[in-house]
Amino acid sequence: MEENKLIAAFYKFVDWNNLKRKKSEIEKLCLKNNIVGTILLANEGINGTIAGSEESILAVIKGLKDDPLLLDIEPKFSKAEGEIFKRMKVRLKKEIVSMGMENIRPANLKGKTVKTGDWNELISDPKTLVIDTRNQYECAIGTFKGSLDPKTKSFRDFPEWSKNNLKAIMKKEGKTKVAMFCTGGIRCEKASSHLLEEGIEEVYQLEGGILKYLENISSDESLWEGDCFVFDERVSIQHGLVEGNYSMCHACRMPIDDDDMKSKKYSEGISCPHCYATHSEERKERFAERQKQIKLAKIRNEKHLGKTY
């Protein structure tokens, strides 16, 4: 049986600089503690998900908090078996969550945070419009009861969607408040800053995102329906942060369930019902060869870095 890994997901919007120096310091910290995952750094802050032994993860979080700007960073912890990430990557980016609007600064302006224990009351208020700020494929496997799915393919689509639709929807439905949520809190926090800039007066966000809600709220009291998509090998999680019922199509990265895998359009690592008609024959052949190499590597008990796409 493989050893349980501790997973820490965290982010913080801060205004800072000297990113190259910070990148070097964080890389050394992660290497010293033998952890894997991805950490993004930008002028607007930090965003990361890392995995390793409990001792190593806590050492890295402590090291990050040595920076006064990150002293109050609040990781979401969960556990999983086996290999969660292949390697450790620390990357410099223009944004820690890509919205295509680098002028937005959530460190200076953001909506009101709502604790998980108060969330049900807020979203049950008939004056509240509840918006899922995640991508369409994430919303498809689970969301809060009665929430609005903007059907965006990318978070970069959210500003245009809100500009063209939000005020009209609020007026039509008699809503005066907007409550937003996402996986860990980062997207709705940035979206809340944008909506305030656009003149929406009452904007709220779920503190800690869906992950914190599923950790703190029992299934009996929950208004969450389905699984929550996560961006690692677990694919989805449920209440109590236990692994969910979904796998991933490694050709298109869409979450797939047992019914999808029974489809004639499903072939492991090559296609699924979501992407079957979108790949050329040349690309399918390339996927097939890649899948063959993955299986051979597994037989030889070796890692194949192309497993996750």
pLDDT digits (tens, 9 = 90+) for 152-205: 999 999 999 999 999 999 999 999 999 999 999 999 999 999 999 999 999 999
6-10, 103-107, 189-193, range with greatest mean pLDDT: 189-193
Q: Pick the closest to residue 73 from 187, 246, 208 (CA basis).
A: 208
Handedness of CA 129, 134, 137, 141 (dihedral sign): negative
For the annotated catalytic residues, the residue numbers are 182
pLDDT at 271: 87
3-state secondary structure of 286: helix
pTM tops 0.85? no
The whole-number average pLDDT for the span 205-210 is 94
Mean pLDDT confidence for 38-48: 95
Complete domains list, the chain, with CATH: 4-92 (3.30.70.100), 112-226 (3.40.250.10), 255-299 (no CATH)
Which three-class secondary structure state does DSSP give residue 101?
coil
Contacts of 151 (CB under 8 A, 6+ apart): 136, 139
**Nearest-angstrom CA–CA distance, 192 and 207:** 12
Structure tokens at 144: 């809060």
- 78 has a pLDDT exceeding 50: yes
